[in-house]
Amino acid sequence: MHNSEKKDSRYSRQILLNEIGKEGQAILQQKKVAIVGIGALGTVAAELLARAGVGSLLLIDRDVVEESNLQRQTLFDEKDVGKNKAAAAEKRINEINSEIEVEAHSIHLSPQNIHLLQNADLILDCTDNLQTRFLINDYCKKEKNPWIYAAAIKTLGYVMPILPEGPCLQCFLAESSQETCDTVGVLNTITVSIASLQATLALKMLLGKEIELVLFHYDIWNQNFKKINVKKKEFCPACQGEYIYLEKKETSRHIRFCSTGKYQILGKEVDLQKIKERWEKVGIVTEEDSSLHFQNIILFKDGRALINADSAEEAEAIYSRLVGN
């Protein structure tokens, strides 16, 4: 069987759809989608787009797999606990569809590395924090890139496709202290449903189909689906060309994760092998996917660390003791 016949066979049920067809399938195979956040939303969106034959996926996530993730983060299973999410997802997607290209980065997305998104035809926001969402919003507004916002909490979910010329995230969302899955919970059916809607909109946008520029809201428990019109906000900074989050420097070295007792400490690039040799004199060190696991710390080659601690001060002290200042 020729390669073209194999591809037609893999995507045959999709090619039958009038909305896609052979021509549409060929278009999808030439497209690249960046997915920021490989958690409850990102794992589902990535898997669906990989199975649909989107030619290239860029996966970005700063976290590792925890047991509590397995309830809803569909690319992971028990053997992935403790592994970098982006790397574990890359491995699983390669098993699902070896014909597409997958690039994974276990990083904290920042103004310094956001250029990684520059070759993507479309960006999916599957993150769990507003700082990163607003950073993506600023970047896409400045570079005139389309992207899709998505969020899910408890039994509720939101999705909105955002185009350069239309209203942006800052037009309807403000930075505030918000609920997290860790404190109020989340139903796995809402994360799968919202990610499926996000992936569907992604396919339509990649194919150049018409989409509604509205905020979709779904309450899955009460089966209530709404479309909310969003207008450009007067004096919206991003719409006026003020890219606050893109120009912002990291003001704090530590970031508290949704997970209770987990902190991210930012640092400078390190020599993992030298540190591994040092740590091995004290205890067992596990090396995996450009990171080291030792006691209650996971250290990445860019100097970033994930540390289980009771406070930011304790996390900083652990970093100083095990890595250095």
Confidence at residue 281, expressed as pLDDT on a 0 to 100 scale: 87
Confidence at residue 271, expressed as pLDDT on a 0 to 100 scale: 87
Token pair, residue 266, equals: 């930012």
Confidence at residue 2, expressed as pLDDT on a 0 to 100 scale: 54
Q: Which of 227, 246, 265 is the last residue before a domain boundary?
A: 246
* Backbone phi and psi for residue 118, each to the nearest 5 degrees, phi listed first: -65, -25
Q: Is residue 176 part of a domain?
A: yes
Q: Is the alpha carbon torsion for 245, 181, 266, 309 positive or negative?
A: positive
CA distance 290 to 267: 15
Q: Is residue 192 part of a domain?
A: yes
* 226 and 169 within one domain: yes
Contact 202, 41 (CB under 8 A): no
Whichever domain contains 71, its CATH number is 3.40.50.720
Confidence at residue 325, expressed as pLDDT on a 0 to 100 scale: 62
**Which segments of the chain have a pLDDT < 70?**
1-7, 175-183, 249-260, 325
Contacts of 2 (CB under 8 A, 6+ apart): none
* 265 and 203 within one domain: no
CA distance 208 to 318: 50
Whichever domain contains 269, its CATH number is 3.30.310
What DSSP state is assigned to residue 115?
G
* 154 and 81 within one domain: yes
The pTM of this model reads 0.84
Total structural domains in the chain?
A: 2
* 262 and 214 within one domain: no
Residue-wise pLDDT tens digits, 12-47: 999 999 999 999 999 999 999 999 999 999 999 999
Q: Which of 207, 224, 246 is the last residue before a domain boundary?
A: 246
CA distance 77 to 80: 6
* 174 and 302 within one domain: no
Which residue is it, tokens 């209203």? 167
* 99 and 35 within one domain: yes
* 289 and 211 within one domain: no
Q: What range defines the domain where residue 257 resides? A: 252-322
Q: Which of 202, 221, 246 is the last residue before a domain boundary?
A: 246
CA distance 173 to 167: 11
CA distance 36 to 63: 11
* 308 and 241 within one domain: no
Confidence at residue 259, expressed as pLDDT on a 0 to 100 scale: 53
Q: Establish how many alpha carbons lie within 13 A of residue 169's alpha carbon, considering only the half-sphere containing its beta carbon.
A: 25
Per-state percent for the chain, helix, strand, coil, to nearest 5: 35, 20, 40
